[in-house]
Structure 1
Amino acid sequence: MDQLQRSLLEAPIVEKNGYHYFVHPISDGVPKLDPGLLREIVIRIIRKAKLDDVDRIVTPAAMGIHISTAVSLMTDIPLTVIRKRQYGLEGEVAISQETGYSENEMYINDVYEGERVLVLDDVLSTGGTLASVLEALDAIGAEVVDTIAVIKKVGGENKVDDAGYDVKTLVNVDVVDGEVVIVDENGDS
């Protein structure tokens, strides 16, 4: 069992509006993020992702930033963060983000038609965030070379799957009786 799996099995569960949510350093920044765990995740992403000719990494704020920054540092691929704040820059694209527990506007800047992008995120649960991001990148005309979420919470609606997008994952989990259960230790199911 790797460090990511162990840390997930030990993660506390909280309920928000009927949604069972695991609290984990990768998805929440608490408890502390061990550098060894981050290093393991980055190495696994680099091994799993199609990185040939990728122009930039794109990640939604906020919890994809630490993962994507580390991947950017290891691959020398520039990083663009999709922010929850409007800047009003030329070419800014607004997208609606709907998750299992919130709705927000997000804004993409500095991604252009024809660019080849790798999309990275921390958790794929309802798929609301990633589906919105991928649809917006399609509308911009960027080519999504690959999409990876570190953790996938299975069960329930998944807007990314429903929209026909393929997202690779490192580990798939479910929350059963108040505990995290590893469904697929290699992800991608």
Structure 2
Amino acid sequence: MFQDITPLLLDPKAFKDTVDLFVERYKGKNISIVAGIEARGFIFGPPIALAIGAKFVPLRKPKKLPGKVISQEYILEYGRDCLEMHVGGVEHGERALVVDDLIATGGTLCAAMDLLGRVGAEIVECACVIELPELKGRERLNGKPLYVLIECFECCDSQKMKEENE
């Protein structure tokens, strides 16, 4: 079930307040990298990175980054995908925050953490605007902290009701 964040983005005050909630949580935590997952992690990651004095590292789909990259494949509920990151964009020992708009099954966040971990980054936390708890993505994070602003139970419940009525 697709969750649309466009209404949030169309409301400048709500968008700013959302970014400010993340900034408040992460300022002063010595985070040197904000890694944003394509594509909606690119919306929230850069303003958070700027506000806390960290660099922004894009984690992109295959063949979208120029130059040398490292890749991490992962399994989705409907197939396979891959994330890529520039070689040299992250140094061993840097403290990273992973940002995306939503966590569902957790596969993309796990791939992002694996990719950063392969170059020696310390994952401080993952941050998402929305969580779909019924899909149990948090459980796949192997104990890594996850901070979310909204847990969306109703979304999954409405899908269940639709399936039950068919």
Q: Which TM-score tier does this pair reach, normalised by the shorter chain? A: 0.7 to 0.9
Q: How many residues align?
A: 154
Matches within 5 A, 1:116-127: 116-127=95-106
Matches within 5 A, 1:160-171: 160-162=138-140, 163-171=142-150
The corresponding residue for 1:47 is: 24
Partner Cα distance (1:98, 1:39) in 2: 33
Report if aligned partners of 1:125, 1:152 keep a CA contact under 8 Å in 2: yes
Q: What secondary structure sits across from 1:177 in the alignment?
A: helix
Identical amino acids, percent of aligned pairs: 22
Is residue 71 of structure 2 the alignment partner of residue 94 of structure 1?
A: yes
Structure 1 runs (4+) deviating above 4 angstroms are: 29-32
Matches within 5 A, 1:66-77: 66-77=43-54
CA RMSD of aligned residues (A): 2.4
Structure having the larger proportion of residues in helix: 2
Report if aligned partners of 1:113, 1:140 keep a CA contact under 8 Å in 2: yes
Q: What secondary structure sits across from 2:15 in the alignment?
A: helix
TM, length-normalised to structure 1:
0.71
| 1:22-72 CA-partner distances (Å, limit 9, x unpaired) | 4312xxx47863222211111111122364221121111101111112212
Report if aligned partners of 1:38, 1:67 keep a CA contact under 8 Å in 2: no
Unpaired segments ≥5 residues, structure 2: 161-166
Partner Cα distance (2:99, 2:130) in 1: 11
Partner Cα distance (2:44, 2:8) in 1: 16
Unpaired segments ≥5 residues, structure 1: 1-20, 180-189
- Amino acid in structure 2 at the alignment position of 1:89: G
Is residue 135 of structure 2 the alignment partner of residue 156 of structure 1?
A: yes
